[in-house]
Chains A and B, each alone.
Chain A
Amino acid sequence: MVRLSVPASGAPASALEVALGAPADPGTRRVLITGLSTYWGGRLAQALERFEQIEAIIGVDSRAPTVELERTEFVKVSNQHSLIERIVRAADIDTVVDTRLVVSSVAVAPREMHENNVIGTMNILAGCAGSDSPVRKFIFKSSAHCYGSAQDDPAFFTEEMPRARPAGSLLERDVIDAEAAVEDFAQKNRDVAVTVIRFANVLGSDVDTAFTRLFSLPLVPMVLGFDPRLQFIHEDDVVHALEHAAFHLVPGVYNAAADGVLALSEVIGLLGKRPLPVLPPWGAGILAGPLRRLGFRIPDEILGLLRFGRGLDNRLLKATGFEYGFTSRETVLDLAEHLRLDPVMRGREETYIYEREVEEFLRWSRHVRRGGERDEGVGADREVLGI
């Protein structure tokens, strides 16, 4: 979509970007983003749209996009992504960024989560596989939940460390299964560069996760006698890390987590809240049921974290040239500011509503004046007038 007014997303790129011009991996030209309607998919598409070297950006999802997009084409697909192969081949896609993984079981039913995380991943991989497939780069957004959270964990997980115990929650099992499918794909398709990025718990003003909900309570519940070490990543850094992987050739598995591991008590202090150590050290799982009925739901994957926490070694991703914009502490402070302003600001932002017909009109109709053409037109008029 070309907007006639000065587009916000077309704000002048930094001088460095202009000077550098092309992305570092010139092979990235035709990108498919799965999960376009997730927060990550939408933001990644917006970011990629700014680079002319990216000829085509195609986004698929089962729901309509939630952000305004200029030239990304949206294709609505079923939850299982079973027809992805035809899109990949027809559009000659060279890079697939899979941002679809559900990493918080707060809002999604377990069955739907499994369908999306495991079955969906397998179908997308199947669509990209094969010797005649145009795909040469596959980027998978994964989650540090694959490490779990247990008593005998190392203080900093590195990428090759196995988890200490079998998966304790449905979500963890889904993430492990999805990653196993990606690994299998990487083994069988050696000519495709597969990047898996395991993100720590995301915090930010625009995401809704178990932790953002927990931290927005006036008193933050803690497990009695525990003060776990937690690590976060800012929502902007998640988008940047995905971009980084799309623009560079960095095959392998990477942890993505901001610098610094905070104790939960420290986080609560930074948020300016008070701790409420009420969860019993044992049997919190049994208590979760009655609590849920009271409208106070702590997902299984968070219960472990509230006792044992989790730290990640984030150095491997840094070694590929990536730089984090926020430390864990800055991430929490950013959330604190949002939580403070939220009651005032709520409802002020314009929400975007996707309407297929409008988007199509704006993109394809010959009556819409697109930026370049209008300039040309003006120039032509001037010539005629002899100015």
Chain B
Amino acid sequence: MASERTSLAHLPEAGQADAEASAPLPEVRPAERMRDLLPAIEPDRRLDDWGRSERIEGVFDQTLVEFFYRYWFRVEVEGIENVPSDGGALLVSNHSGALPPDAAMIAKAIREEHPAPRPLYLTVEHFFKGYPGFSMLLPKLGGVPAHPANVHRLLFDERQLVLVFPEGRKGTEKLYKDRYRLRRFGRGGFVDAAMRAEAKLVPVCVVGAEEAMPVFAQVEALRKLTGLIYFPVTPTFPWLGPLGILGYLPAKFKLRFLEPIDTLELGGSEARHDKALVQVTAQEIRARIQENLDEMVAKRRSVWFG
């Protein structure tokens, strides 16, 4: 029959909440208070609310990622201290490779080298949520669809590390001849997101990924046939079948984390309405990454041995 518990059991808080609730909407959600209302973590669960699975991620981390990180790409890391130990931060990196290994290597670098390792969420295209297989696997490994609301919740409410590739598909599509030439950084959406969340921006440079999977051509007809976002021709794909997409060449990887930019110093969440400032900041970050990439590539004596 009637339930044991009624909402009256919560009256003490409810009384005060009432006064606030009748105020106009923006006052009801003082951002800090909303943060306290985030769901608690249930210790018995194996997945978080984003669908991330520590277990499946751990399996990948111990096997495939470990192998590539340590023995295949022999990743070298610079400036790991630029990744903040707490608070939300948005990592911004250059992007390449048909099935880009850069995200996994950056996440692994933080896990291995950082004094206070933190999980890294990586933003992926909405396309993957709609493609069978990817849709199942990517969230388990920390992939989150690149929706502004998702990035904001992760950065602001949950104070997590988020990795974004502003070049997006334009970066992974590009051919070998265009290597290490950064594509357009969109409309600066990532700067807007960081400002709104008052999070730090950490530029990241990745050298080696371009040679690990050189893309020689894009085949439009096969792209349409498979419904993928692009259909690349690499040294191993599609020649060795679907697994050929994992056929990375053993290029030497170098990661460099650059000094973070504090969006609070740029004016915090209000500054995002200044479109010019957003654009200028995005351009600046792009220029810094490009500059560092050029320097790293110039210093490199061999693609394979660094």
Contact = CB atoms under 8 A, between A and B. Distances in A.
B298 interface: no
Shortest Cβ-Cβ A-B pairs, 9 listed: A225-B132, A321-B14, A259-B39, A321-B17, A244-B7, A154-B149, A151-B130, A281-B132, A315-B37
Nearest to B153: A156
Contacts of A4: none
A323 interface: yes
Contacts, number: 182
A273 interface: no
B242 interface: no
A169 to B, nearest CB: 18
Contacts of A313: 153
Nearest to B14: A321
B7 A161 contact: no
A247 interface: yes
A368 interface: no
A266 B18 contact: no
B3 A316 contact: no
Interface of B: 1-11, 13-18, 20-22, 25, 28-29, 33-34, 37-40, 42, 44-47, 49-51, 126-127, 129-136, 139-140, 144-145, 147-150, 153
Contacts of A323: 10
B46 A24 contact: no
Interface string A300-323: 000000011001011110111111
Contact of A321 (B4, B10, B49): B10
Given A9-B2, A67-B1, A244-B14, 14 more contacts: A8-B1, A9-B1, A24-B18, A50-B2, A151-B127, A151-B130, A152-B126, A155-B145, A156-B49, A156-B150, A229-B139, A247-B7, A313-B153, A321-B21
A262 B50 CA distance: 9
A177 interface: no
Given A20-B8, A311-B49, A252 B14 contact: no
Interface centre among A14, A155, A223 (most CB of B within 10 A): A155
Contacts of B49: 155-156, 229, 260-261, 311
A325 interface: yes
A253 to B, nearest CB: 9
A299 interface: no
B149 A161 contact: yes
Interface in A214-261: 223-227, 229, 236, 239-241, 243-244, 247-252, 259-261
A47 B51 contact: no
